[in-house]
A and B are shown apart, each in its own frame.
Chain A
């Protein structure tokens, strides 16, 4: 996307944001029903803490998300779903044995399992087949690639494709500090053509990140049950992975042909613009091939209100610290 020239007018400095912002906007309490929590993990563990009592969950969320207010908000609602795999990297799909183990552990913990899938190369499509075969009928597969969606419709009709957040394209540039960009930041789910495409491949649920400058209308007009990711939105992802450059020297160090030792599972980076006079609206971080931004407390308050109003069916929260 490219900038309209009106952006040359520098916006006023935004209010402080992120986990350290003070004081956070009050969050409407989570309703006891009508909304579910899904926890996403690349390598699931400590499921027992997620499924314990409210204080244990609050501690878990606080450690994982580094935001005590958000942890307290999420903790009363016991998660009912575990999403395993990766939306962002083809090298982070589980091995079949790992997925089988996760299915058993999640079942014991009373969690339904969904499989997260990335933009797919031919190799990824081949790797997905044995994983699909392990999933029980009715299990959800979060698709971020139309080819994966078509494959599910044709060869695995008992699995439920969910449109992932990469398929929900909208402006999420953390450097913008001006709400005049809110209109082009809207989701496109209301488009009749988009809806026909969803119907064509059997998509019955959709997911999205929080839009920039989220407002009361941000979650309106979605024709299917909606899941919203928090507290991070993905800004941009590559196939090339900066972190994977640690794994090999030479011409293909940052090449599309993926190779790594999963360094990103242990490493991340806080990123800050070294530019005088800028005042980015959102805190950013980099994990593997993806840049994320953290929602402001004000955006989370808007989301909480949308949940209370019944516009959001599911909250999707990372269960691994970024």
Chain B
């Protein structure tokens, strides 16, 4: 499996490649785009983009020099006709630079890219919210070569899609930056923090009620109150445990490291690290974490050993046990059992002794 990591500036490229990334992805907001359409409309991340096409060309060259591929993100939920025409110009220029793939979500743009830039690899963004094989086949018919699965998918579903569409590469989330709502079904802005931020983190007070107008019983009201408290705990995990890290800089938050053996068995082609707008140190630590666990899997360690290694990495056993930090919480039980077994088993090889 390949490790796919985000960049927002040129000096991240060599470091992430050295740390073990196989592919990188970036956005770009040329000044003309920002002037015509606003900076936020190119790819949903106003603060995480390369500033110009010249910088993009340099990024492509640097990536290839460091032995990694670079994909360009054009994944707004929807583009106007004028924006699609402009995006096609960007894609043509990017192809001339030697760029490797465009990540897109709007099916209209995907169709337009396939027709207008025929040699270009198209990766379907997670924002497309495609989580079945028939949808994957349609995108493949339109010209896509890879499908990035949405965050909210189970391992069984991912494996089923990969098996059903074997000629389409499948990429799955592995680390960082959870969303609450499905990206493709969230029609809101990430407002500046002072005005509320992402809507899922905004401070909404919930007044529960029966839809038919009956009053809530005290018992149900108490259950709803407990559920709201649990939801707020889950939300903290979903948003990277308050964007905390270990002392070594390893990020807490949405994670699928324990699921790497299952993702490998399921025919997943690439593992996506999210967080284009994050600091370089976070990206670097993230790539190292995934590299370490993926290497263990690829050199043939047992799934139980890989899971235990993943659990011991930060370590974050207490967080892991909640399941709230997991992209694939269905493996929590298996990972817990693997770690308990490892703790209570004698070492498989004798410890070295000194003479």
B307 vs chain A, min Cβ distance (A): 14
B211 contact set on A, CB distance < 8 A: 265-268, 287, 320-322
- Distance, CA A197 to CA B41, complexed state (A): 22
A322 contact set on B, CB distance < 8 A: 211
Given contact pairs A245-B231, A256-B153, A2 touches B207 in the complex (Cβ within 8 A): no
Instruction: Please state if A8 and B192 are interface contacts (CB–CB under 8 Å).
Output: yes
Give the contact stretch, choosing among B18-26, B60-68, B320-328: B320-328
B154 contact set on A, CB distance < 8 A: 121, 256-257
Instruction: Please state if B77 and A1 are interface contacts (CB–CB under 8 Å).
Output: yes
Instruction: Please state if A251 and B46 are interface contacts (CB–CB under 8 Å).
Output: no
Instruction: Please state if A273 and B202 are interface contacts (CB–CB under 8 Å).
Output: yes
For B112, the closest partner residue in chain A by CB is: A193
Given contact pairs A266-B212, A271-B205, A201 touches B191 in the complex (Cβ within 8 A): no
Asked whether any CB of chain B lies closer than 8 Å to the CB of A272, the reply is yes
Instruction: Please state if B131 and A119 are interface contacts (CB–CB under 8 Å).
Output: yes
For B47, the closest partner residue in chain A by CB is: A2
B137 vs chain A, min Cβ distance (A): 7
- Distance, CA A235 to CA B129, complexed state (A): 16
Q: Which single member of B76, B134, B210, B326 contacts A148 (CB below 8 Å)?
A: B134
Instruction: Please state if B208 and A269 are interface contacts (CB–CB under 8 Å).
Output: yes
Instruction: Please state if B39 and A4 are interface contacts (CB–CB under 8 Å).
Output: yes
Instruction: Please state if A146 and B41 are interface contacts (CB–CB under 8 Å).
Output: no
For A244, the closest partner residue in chain B by CB is: B227
Instruction: Please state if A278 and B132 are interface contacts (CB–CB under 8 Å).
Output: no
Give the contact stretch, choosing among B7-15, B179-187, B260-268: B179-187
A137 vs chain B, min Cβ distance (A): 21
- Distance, CA A190 to CA B321, complexed state (A): 49
Asked whether any CB of chain A lies closer than 8 Å to the CB of B117, the reply is no
Question: Which residues of chain A in 191-235 are interfacial with respect to chain B, using CB atoms and an 8 Å cutoff?
Answer: 191-194, 196-197, 201, 234-235
A299 vs chain B, min Cβ distance (A): 15
Asked whether any CB of chain A lies closer than 8 Å to the CB of B291, the reply is no
Instruction: Please state if A252 and B187 are interface contacts (CB–CB under 8 Å).
Output: no
B97 contact set on A, CB distance < 8 A: none
Asked whether any CB of chain B lies closer than 8 Å to the CB of A99, the reply is no
- Distance, CA A147 to CA B132, complexed state (A): 7
- Distance, CA A227 to CA B92, complexed state (A): 37
Q: Which single member of A145, A254, A269, A284 contacts B209 (CB below 8 Å)?
A: A269
Asked whether any CB of chain A lies closer than 8 Å to the CB of B285, the reply is no
Q: CB-CB contacts of A267-288 with B at 8 A, as 1s and 0s?
A: 1111111110010000010110
B235 vs chain A, min Cβ distance (A): 9
- Distance, CA A239 to CA B47, complexed state (A): 27
A19 vs chain B, min Cβ distance (A): 14
- Distance, CA A284 to CA B199, complexed state (A): 12
A257 contact set on B, CB distance < 8 A: 154, 329-330
Asked whether any CB of chain B lies closer than 8 Å to the CB of A70, the reply is no
A219 vs chain B, min Cβ distance (A): 16
- Distance, CA A253 to CA B136, complexed state (A): 28
Given contact pairs A150-B134, A255-B323, A273 touches B46 in the complex (Cβ within 8 A): no
- Distance, CA A320 to CA B212, complexed state (A): 9
Instruction: Please state if A122 and B185 are interface contacts (CB–CB under 8 Å).
Output: no
B204 contact set on A, CB distance < 8 A: 271-274, 284, 286
Interface centre among B131, B132, B154 (most CB of A within 10 A): B132
Asked whether any CB of chain B lies closer than 8 Å to the CB of A56, the reply is no
- Since A2-B44, A145-B135, A234-B187 are in contact, a sample of 12 more A-B pairs with Cβ atoms closer than 8 Å, ordered by chain A residue number, is A2-B45, A4-B46, A125-B133, A146-B135, A171-B188, A193-B84, A236-B200, A245-B230, A246-B223, A251-B322, A267-B224, A286-B206
Binding site for A on B (CB under 8 A): 38-41, 44-47, 76-81, 84, 106-109, 111-112, 129-139, 142, 150-154, 157, 160-161, 180-182, 184-192, 194-196, 199-200, 202-213, 223-224, 227, 230-231, 234, 321-324, 326, 329-330, 332-333
For this complex, 8 residue pairs linking A to B, each with C-beta atoms less than 8 Å apart, are: A2-B190, A148-B135, A175-B191, A190-B81, A235-B188, A236-B200, A275-B202, A286-B206
